[in-house]
Amino acid sequence: MLKLINTKPNVKRYISWAFALLFIVAACKKEEVIDNGPFTIYYNGMTDIGPSMSGIISSPSYNGGNPSAFEITGITLDGVAYTGTSFEVNPDNGSISIKDTKDLSIGLYKLTISCMSGGKMYQFKDAVEVNMMRPVPEGITVEPNKLTVNYADVIDAASTVELPTAQVTTNGDHVSIRKYEIAKTDYSKYFAVSSTGLISIVRGDATLLPGKYVLSLKLTTGASAGDEGIFQNAIEINVISKPLALTYAPATGKIEEESVQSGKTSYTSTVPALKGSLDNVAYAITNVTPTTDKIKIDAKTGVITVAENHSFTAGQQYKVNVNVKNEYDQAGVVFTNAFTLDVVEFIEPIQQFTYANKNAIQAVAFDLSPAAGFKGDEVRFEFVDLPAALQGKITLNAQGKISAVKGNSIALGTYTVKVKATNPKNESTASFALTIAENPNYFTYVRYGNNLGLAPAQNYANQFRVASGAALSTVQPSPTTDAKVSVTYEIRNVHQGSGTTIDAATGEIIPKGISAAQIGVFMVTATAGKGTPEEFSVQTPIFIHNSQPVKSATSTEMVTVEYSPFVYQANPTKGGRSTVPVIAGVTDKSKFTLDYRRTFNYYNFFGPHLDGQPSVANSFLRGLWDNYAAGRGISPNYGSRDPLSYYGNVNSVTQAMAYVDAATFEVVVNPNKWIVDGEPANGVMSGQITFGTDGKDPQSGGQLFPIILWFDSKF
């Protein structure tokens, strides 16, 4: 778990749960009590919790009529009936509370849920699973358990300042740790832990904010058959800085002049957002133009106020300079014209603030504005008690318009949405029903599987190998899909494979143009309801390896190198190792060598990065080459193999972004290397690997492209 403490003035933002929360969407298995209809509910289920933790599993989505009268009708612990008070369900909306877990037994809890829909009762066996994890064994510590680092040194990718680290240790030999992980949150990307338990700070991510971060660790130990455990609040990392930015939202405000009609008036700004450490923070007004002593600021929160009896008149405008001090800058930083206050003759009170009920379609964009007749000046809008299933999926702008983007993942169901409108005169809360109906065009997958015998097929990247010596036409993959209507298939060539086509109706791929010992990369787009508002598409990467023998540069041997899978799926923050390849055609394998050499290409899938080779300005690979050079204290060489070479980093392979292990020929991806400007890779990298048969560095060896690195943080 990670707590981000005081990232905004007078506010503590807690990233809840002191453990890794892994969310899954599971369709509940149905046991009909009365009815045999199609009604089904779906829960977002928490899989990992730790002792003394509490939380809520949000209300389920559903197919069919609106459910009610929820009950927990059965609980099992590791398959055995369980009774206790730690799990409660809200009878109205089906949300499940987890509490009083201090003495809860370790194991997997499965909850059976019943509810009413359309006057009929349904029961869903094992609808929710909760894995109660044990704490890590006694004697595991982190030394030191507090780190302090300067913000400027962390976000500067070129900084040579050594960042502090901490080491997970054990007290004696009573327990061994087999695997280290940082409990995952939205902020865990800023930190890393190595395979030896060294905790470090990821450099170069400009999205990091100053603040105090408390990390929990997820450890796999040898103490209890390799069980995972939660090491809560293992380390605090304080990222410190002087005040860097001050933002009022909005940065302008209006106050009504005082008159017989309006009476006494006053003004209060929003709480500003401060980028910088909040230790001993203090706000002060240094100047107001034109001069007045009627505008005040709260020294602790930064809130700007004007009390009654201000005597301001319509047409006046006041600009406010604010000084912010903190523990790391006692003189403070002055933010010029941080706030502007306009005096107006009249502010319209909020009137007739309502929204109409909204019927939307699954995964289809929508927006909704306040109903006709709404009036009000200087209005601020905010959600009130927004359902968890909508958080992060709908937005509210400064005009009160509520929106969701195309492709949104709001689950089926009806939600109550409340919005509060506030201005200097009054406030009003509007409530409406948002119903997300099933999109007949919605589907979740297109799968081609693989011809490598890898199972389950959906886990292995839709990859097909043309057998060594065979023609491309011997492989013509066809998909399966869960689409309920017919779909139209399109294919885009990403790497190699010029001339490859796809049957628009069936999705069958006819590969062409994939050179010998190369891998073709394609993006297939399947679309249902094309051209309609309910149009929905799924994109699926496809990979085809044309495995052909390649002549050695140092002998007459014809060599093939085959990785299975040949698409290595890597999490850019975790790294890992590919499988060991099958090598054929080599007489003396003790003299066989492999190494990345040249022709490096990155192709972005769903991230923000730019395609291209390291020579392309602003490309993702150029950023990686820059990072590598900065790490070694050298000038970037965009034609160098070294960032991906074993032989270029023989004495320091951890500096490489990836390399081919000289002993096993596994491709090793080092963690936290495939990140530029704080954004991890989300795409594929293809690079030429050369081989030799004389035991030497194969710089001028035979040329292969036997493996693709596919990066995604979900792996």
Question: Burial level of 708, CB count in 10 A (0-12/13-18/19+)?
Answer: buried
Least confident of 200-214, 339-353, 354-368, 694-708: 200-214
Task: Indicate the number of domains in the chain.
Answer: 6
pLDDT at position 33 over 50: no
Residue 92: predicted pLDDT:
81
In a domain, 353, yes or no: no
Q: Label residue 63 by pLDDT band (50, 70, 90).
A: low
| Nearest one of 513, 537, 533 to 523, comparing CA atoms | 537
Residue 590: predicted pLDDT:
93
Phi, psi of 397 (to 5 degrees): -95, 180
In a domain, 384, yes or no: yes
Which residues are CB-neighbours of 634 under 8 A, at least 6 positions away?
A: none
CATH number, position 484 = 2.60.40.2720
pLDDT at position 438 over 80: yes
- Structural tokens at position 684: 């594929």
Mean pLDDT of 574-591: 93
Phi, psi of 390 (to 5 degrees): -105, -10
Q: How does pLDDT run across 373-391, given as a tens digit for each residue?
A: 999 998 989 999 888 888 8
In a domain, 350, yes or no: no
In a domain, 311, yes or no: yes
User: How far is it, in rounded angstroms, from Cα 538 to Cα 533?
Assistant: 16
Q: Output b/e per residue, 54-79; b: 16+ Cβ within 10 A.
A: ebebbbbbbebeebeebeebbbbbee
Strand partners, 24: 45
Q: Label residue 284 by pLDDT band (50, 70, 90).
A: very high
Mean pLDDT of 670-698: 91
Residues 417 and 373 in one domain: yes
Residue 44: predicted pLDDT:
59
- Structural tokens at position 590: 């003790």
Residues 640 and 688 in one domain: yes
Residues 320 and 395 in one domain: no
Strand partners, 50: none
User: How far is it, in rounded angstroms, from Cα 63 to Cα 315?
Assistant: 57
User: How far is it, in rounded angstroms, from Cα 423 to Cα 543?
Assistant: 57
Q: How does pLDDT run across 174-196, given as a tens digit for each residue?
A: 567 878 888 766 678 899 988 78
Residue 408: predicted pLDDT:
86
- Chosen domain end from 240, 257, 281: 240
CATH number, position 307 = 2.60.40.60
Q: Which residue has the higher pLDDT, 361 or 51?
A: 361
Residues 334 and 365 in one domain: no
Average model confidence (pLDDT) across the chain: 87
Q: Label residue 675 by pLDDT band (50, 70, 90).
A: confident
In a domain, 578, yes or no: yes
- Chosen domain end from 82, 109, 132: 132
pLDDT at position 21 over 60: no
| Nearest one of 668, 714, 671, 662 to 691, comparing CA atoms | 662
User: Taking the CB of residue 181, how many other CB atoms lie within 10 A of it?
Assistant: 15
- H/E element, 80: strand 80-81
- Structural tokens at position 604: 């972005």
pLDDT at position 53 over 70: no
Residues 556 and 680 in one domain: yes
User: How far is it, in rounded angstroms, from Cα 38 to Cα 382?
Assistant: 37
Residue 30: predicted pLDDT:
35
- Structural tokens at position 176: 């061994």
User: How far is it, in rounded angstroms, from Cα 86 to Cα 98?
Assistant: 6
Strand partners, 74: 112
Q: Label residue 48 by pLDDT band (50, 70, 90).
A: low
CB 369 within 8 A of CB 399: yes
Q: Which residue has the higher pLDDT, 660 or 409?
A: 660
Least confident of 209-223, 404-418, 649-663, 679-693: 209-223
In a domain, 352, yes or no: no
Question: Could you please report the per-residue DSSP string of 591-622?
Answer: G-EEEEEEEEEEEESSSSPPPB-TTSTT-HHH
Question: Rg of the Cα trace of the chain?
Answer: 30
What is residue 37's DSSP assignment?
A: S
Residues 316 and 390 in one domain: no
Residues 578 and 666 in one domain: yes
pLDDT at position 9 over 80: no
Q: Label residue 624 by pLDDT band (50, 70, 90).
A: very high
Residue 607: predicted pLDDT:
86
% of the chain exceeding 70 in pLDDT: 90
Residue 554: predicted pLDDT:
83
Which residue reads 């709404």 in tokens?
Answer: 374
Q: Which residue has the higher pLDDT, 15 or 445?
A: 445
- Chosen domain end from 213, 240, 267: 240
pLDDT at position 241 over 80: yes
- Give the 3-state DSSP-derived string for 331-389, with helices as H, strands as E and coil as C: EEEEEEEEEEEEEECCCCCCECCCCCCEEEECCCCEEECCCCCCECCCCEEEEECCCHH
CATH number, position 427 = 2.60.40.10
Q: Which long-range contacts (CB under 8 A, 24 or more apart) does 356-359 make?
A: 356/432, 357/432, 357/433, 357/434, 357/435, 358/432, 358/433, 358/434, 358/435, 359/435, 359/437
Residue 165: predicted pLDDT:
96
In a domain, 423, yes or no: yes
User: How far is it, in rounded angstroms, from Cα 676 to Cα 628?
Assistant: 11
Residue 26: predicted pLDDT:
33
Q: Label residue 218 by pLDDT band (50, 70, 90).
A: confident
3-state SS class at 220 = strand
Mean pLDDT of 67-76: 88
Residue 173: predicted pLDDT:
55
Q: How does pLDDT run across 78-96, given as a tens digit for each residue?
A: 888 898 888 889 888 888 8
Q: Label residue 101 by pLDDT band (50, 70, 90).
A: confident
CATH number, position 679 = 2.60.40.2730
- Structural tokens at position 448: 């081609």
Residues 41 and 170 in one domain: no
Q: How does pLDDT run across 298-352, given as a tens digit for each residue?
A: 999 999 999 999 999 999 999 999 999 999 999 999 999 999 999 999 999 999 9
Residues 681 and 543 in one domain: no
Mean pLDDT of 247-276: 89
Domain region containing 322 = 245-344
User: How far is it, in rounded angstroms, from Cα 667 to Cα 11?
Assistant: 46
Residues 364 and 459 in one domain: no
CATH number, position 212 = 2.60.40.2710
Phi, psi of 112 (to 5 degrees): -95, 130
Phi, psi of 114 (to 5 degrees): -120, 155
- Give the 3-state DSSP-derived string for 228-257, with helices as H, strands as E and coil as C: EEEEEEEEEEEEECCCCEEECCCCEEEEEC
Residues 534 and 645 in one domain: no
Residue 32: predicted pLDDT:
34
Residue 50: predicted pLDDT:
64
User: Taking the CB of residue 311, how many other CB atoms lie within 10 A of it?
Assistant: 8
pLDDT at position 5 over 50: no
Per DSSP bridges, beta strands 198-201 and 166-170 are: antiparallel
Residue 458: predicted pLDDT:
83
pLDDT at position 547 over 90: yes
| Nearest one of 431, 448, 438, 534 to 40, comparing CA atoms | 438
Q: Output b/e per residue, 605-640; b: 16+ Cβ within 10 A.
A: bebebbebbbeeeebbbbbbbbbbbbbeeeebebeb
> Cα(first)–Cα(last) distance of the chain, in Å?
20
In a domain, 351, yes or no: no
| Nearest one of 112, 34, 201 to 672, comparing CA atoms | 201
Mean pLDDT of 150-173: 87
Q: Label residue 249 by pLDDT band (50, 70, 90).
A: confident
pLDDT at position 677 over 90: no
Least confident of 106-120, 215-229, 252-266, 343-357: 215-229
Residue 580: predicted pLDDT:
96
Residues 263 and 227 in one domain: no
